[in-house]
């Protein structure tokens, strides 16, 4: 059995296509029976006096053909061997044709043409061996009728025989049998070629469908807006991401000009044409755009030529992305660079100012010490004191500014947070702040990797701020604990050091260290919340506005997060979150 035998493979499971083709085979017999019935009726009317009783044999044969068609139609849905079923149908049809030929006049019968029809449509369903079998059976059936009637072996049911010699009958039969075989083989070859071509076409169709589906899925899944235009600049395709970015549906965009949907994109195409003419593969640019929702965004666009199979340009392909965040980052980066340059210059100026300030302070103090009571009156002494005090204040401000603008590099080491807090508490009590009650809730097992001196400066600054906020009267709470990341808190956030940041910006661990200082003071005013960590912002009359900014800078150097919250008592609560130190086992 060859590879051409699609239907006749003998497989146990018959697919729907094979059953359909077997149905066509049964339909061919139905057509044959109908033609035979019509021809029989015609013969009966025209040649009744010559056909005699044989016409009834034709009628009964046609009736048998219809009965066989009904039975086959009922069995086709149950067959499990298409090859055997098709062979039985062809053999049945050849038997019916032989009966028709015999009852309608033997060798002179008009039904002999039906042998060729059966062999022909049988060749469409059988393999080469089946074609040889069907051609042989047709030749045998025709030979039995031809020799039997002409030689008088069988009673004539129609026209009388012509009494031809045996050699002539043999030649006549051999020619007819050879013609049937050639017809069957030729039809089978054409059918096999047709099946191969159909199978190849099915494979190509399947490949084309897969390629089309892949193309559609790729275009629909790509994270960039993608559109194509014709040579007139009208939009011919618009993917879902393009719909999301622009707010325009593909249906509404189809047929509109590119400039009508994305103003400014036409200039991108013109620029792309110039770049492509210079040897570039794609033209790129960035434009400001307002989508249908009224949102102002920036689009990064790239355009290239769309060409047909002959290499002729038939339009453009435009890819674009929403790069608003990138533009914002670039602006922030440029602003940061400018601020860094200004900060560097300011730091240099502050450093240079300190020397003259020291000279001024020293000179005033020398003048004050060298003057006698007779030479200097009380007003002059007061003015000298003001000069010295303000010079010291200015010098302190410059020192804070230099510490903020030029932070010292950290030297991390394992630090027990509870020990630092206890040390700060002892220092605070030693300064005589007896009216402030201190409540400590410290976990002595919380260890972080930090620079102890800088972390101590953070705690001291926050501690002093709490004391000053309470004006020496109230209660201060200090807590050190180990918590899970993203754990829900009782305090309501007021302001974080970076918008949208929280413990997610810490290292990817399940647990973090958390240090809090809470006071019972007046809390943070609403108008001060947005600026609480900004440099030179202060709510104190004599403050420099660099304390919390420096604290934030130190915490950020340690890859931590600082937050300003509302305390349970209505005061302020500053929370510092740091990564835990890795403790080797």
| Confidence class for position 385, pLDDT limits 50, 70, 90 | confident
How many CB atoms sit inside 10 A of residue 403's CB? Answer: 16
| Confidence class for position 35, pLDDT limits 50, 70, 90 | confident
| Residue 389 CB-density burial (10 A; 0-12 exposed, 13-18 middle, 19+ buried) | exposed
Between CA 461 and CA 472 the distance in angstroms is: 15
pLDDT at residue 113 tops 70? yes
Between CA 460 and CA 452 the distance in angstroms is: 12
pLDDT at residue 580 tops 80? yes
Of 337 and 5, which is predicted with more confidence?
A: 337
List the single range of 111-115, 296-300, 558-562 with lowest mean pLDDT: 111-115
Render pLDDT for 50-69 as a digit per residue (tens, 0 to 9): 545 567 777 888 888 788 88
Q: What is the pLDDT of residue 505?
A: 45
Whole-number percent of the chain with pLDDT over 70: 75
Between CA 347 and CA 341 the distance in angstroms is: 10
Which CB contacts under 8 angstroms, 24+ apart, belong to 424-428?
424/456, 424/459, 424/460, 424/463, 425/463, 425/478, 427/460, 428/463, 428/467
State the average pLDDT over residues 256-264.
86
Residue 136 in contact with residue 118, Cβ under 8 Å? no
| Confidence class for position 499, pLDDT limits 50, 70, 90 | very low
Q: Residue ranges of the domains in the chain?
A: 16-202, 222-322, 329-405, 413-579
Q: What is the pLDDT of residue 104?
A: 78
Q: What is the pLDDT of residue 501?
A: 42
Side-chain half-sphere CA neighbours of 395 within 13 A: 15
State the average pLDDT over residues 347-352.
65
Q: What is the pLDDT of residue 491?
A: 43
State the average pLDDT over residues 62-91.
81
Both tokens of 83, joined, read 């090859």
Both tokens of 95, joined, read 């038997």
Q: What is the pLDDT of residue 5?
A: 44
Q: Which of 264-268, 445-449, 566-570 tops mean pLDDT?
A: 445-449
State the average pLDDT over residues 232-260.
88
Side-chain half-sphere CA neighbours of 311 within 13 A: 0
pLDDT at residue 219 tops 70? yes
Whole-number percent of the chain with pLDDT over 90: 1
For the 222-322 domain, the top CATH level (class) is alpha beta
- The sheet carrying 225-230 orders its strands as 235-238, 225-230, 313-322, 296-307, 283-290
pLDDT at residue 20 tops 80? no
Tell me the sheet residues that pair with 413.
450
Is the pTM for the entire model greater than 0.75? no
- Please list, in sequence order, all residues whose beta carbon lies within 8 angstroms of the beta carbon of residue 44, skipping any fewer than 6 positions away: 51, 55
Render pLDDT for 44-53 as a digit per residue (tens, 0 to 9): 676 654 545 5
Average pLDDT over the chain, rounded to an integer: 76
To the nearest 10°, report the CA torsion of 569, 572, 578, 583.
-40
Both tokens of 498, joined, read 């970076």
Residue 19 in contact with residue 75, Cβ under 8 Å? no
Number of H helices, E strands in the chain: 16, 13
What CATH number is given for 413-579 in this structure? 3.30.565.10
pLDDT at residue 249 tops 50? yes
Instruction: Label residues 309-337 b or e (16+ Cβ within 10 Å = b).
Output: eeeeeebbbbbbbbbbeebeeeeeeeeee
| Confidence class for position 1, pLDDT limits 50, 70, 90 | very low
Q: What is the pLDDT of residue 315?
A: 85
Q: What is the pLDDT of residue 509?
A: 59
| Confidence class for position 497, pLDDT limits 50, 70, 90 | very low
Render pLDDT for 410-461 as a digit per residue (tens, 0 to 9): 788 898 988 988 988 888 777 765 678 888 888 888 899 888 888 888 888 8
pLDDT at residue 14 tops 60? no
State whether residue 163 is helix, strand or coil.
coil
| Confidence class for position 480, pLDDT limits 50, 70, 90 | very high
Tell me the sheet residues that pair with 234.
257
Between CA 569 and CA 439 the distance in angstroms is: 14
DSSP state at residue 580: B
Q: What is the pLDDT of residue 75?
A: 80
Q: What is the pLDDT of residue 427?
A: 82
Residue 319 in contact with residue 302, Cβ under 8 Å? yes
């Amino acid at each position: 059995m060859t590879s051409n035998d699609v239907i006749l493979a003998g497989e146990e499971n018959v697919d729907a296509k094979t059953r359909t083709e077997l149905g066509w085979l049964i339909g061919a017999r139905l057509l044959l029976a109908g033609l035979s019935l019509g021809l029989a009726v015609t013969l009966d009317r025209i040649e009744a006096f010559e056909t005699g009783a044989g016409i009834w044999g034709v009628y009964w044969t046609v009736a048998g053909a219809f009965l066989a068609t009904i039975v086959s139609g009922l069995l086709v849905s149950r067959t499990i061997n298409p090859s055997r079923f098709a062979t039985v149908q062809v053999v049945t049809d050849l038997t019916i044709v032989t009966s028709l030929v015999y009852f309608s006049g033997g060798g002179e019968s008009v039904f002999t043409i039906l042998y060729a029809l059966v062999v022909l449509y049988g060749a469409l369903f059988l393999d080469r061996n089946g074609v040889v079998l069907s051609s042989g059976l047709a030749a045998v059936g025709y030979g039995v009728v031809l020799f039997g009637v002409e030689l008088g072996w069988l009673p004539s049911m129609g026209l009388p025989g012509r009494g031809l010699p045996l050699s002539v009958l043999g030649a006549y039969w051999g020619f007819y049998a050879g013609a049937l075989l050639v017809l069957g083989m030729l039809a089978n070859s054409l059918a096999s070629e047709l099946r191969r071509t159909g199978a190849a076409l099915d494979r190509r169709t399947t490949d084309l469908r897969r390629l089309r589906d892949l193309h559609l899925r790729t275009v629909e899944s790509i994270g960039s807006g993608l559109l194509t235009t014709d040579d007139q600049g009208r939009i011919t395709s618009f993917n879902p991401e393009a719909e999301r970015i622009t707010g325009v549906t593909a249906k509404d965009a189809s047929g509109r000009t590119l400039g009508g949907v994305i103003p400014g994109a036409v200039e991108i195409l013109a620029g792309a044409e110039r770049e492509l003419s210079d040897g570039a593969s794609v033209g790129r640019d960035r434009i400001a755009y307002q989508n249908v929702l009224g949102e102002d965004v920036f689009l990064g666009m790239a355009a290239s030529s769309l060409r047909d199979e002959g290499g002729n340009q038939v339009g453009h392909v435009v890819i674009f992305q929403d790069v608003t965040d990138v533009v914002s980052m670039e602006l922030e980066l440029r602003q940061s660079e400018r601020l860094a340059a200004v900060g560097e210059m300011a730091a240099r100026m502050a450093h240079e100012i300190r020397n003259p300030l020291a000279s001024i302070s020293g000179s005033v103090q020398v003048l004050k010490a060298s003057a006698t009571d007779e030479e200097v009156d009380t007003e002059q002494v007061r003015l000298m004191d003001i000069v010295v005090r303000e010079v010291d204040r200015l010098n302190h401000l410059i020192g804070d500014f230099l510490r903020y603008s030029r932070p010292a590099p950290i030297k991390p080491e394992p630090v027990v947070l509870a020990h630092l807090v206890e040390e700060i508490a002892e220092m605070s009590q030693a300064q005589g702040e007896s009216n402030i009650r201190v409540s400590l809730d410290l976990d002595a097992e919380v260890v972080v990797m930090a620079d102890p001196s800088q972390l101590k400066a953070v705690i001291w600054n926050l501690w002093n701020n709490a004391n000053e906020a309470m004006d020496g009267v109230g209660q201060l709470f200090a807590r050190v604990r180990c918590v899970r990341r993203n754990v829900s808190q009782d305090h309501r956030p007021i302001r974080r050091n970076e918008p949208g940041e929280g413990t997610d910006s810490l290292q990817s661990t399940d647990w973090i260290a958390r240090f809090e200082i809470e006071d019972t003071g007046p809390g943070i005013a609403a108008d001060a919340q947005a600026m609480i960590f900004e440099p030179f912002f202060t709510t104190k009359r004599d403050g420099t506005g660099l304390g919390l900014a420096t604290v934030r800078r130190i915490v950020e150097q340690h890859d931590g997060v600082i937050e300003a919250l509302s305390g349970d008592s209505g005061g302020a609560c500053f929370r510092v979150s740091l990564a835990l130190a890795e403790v080797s086992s």
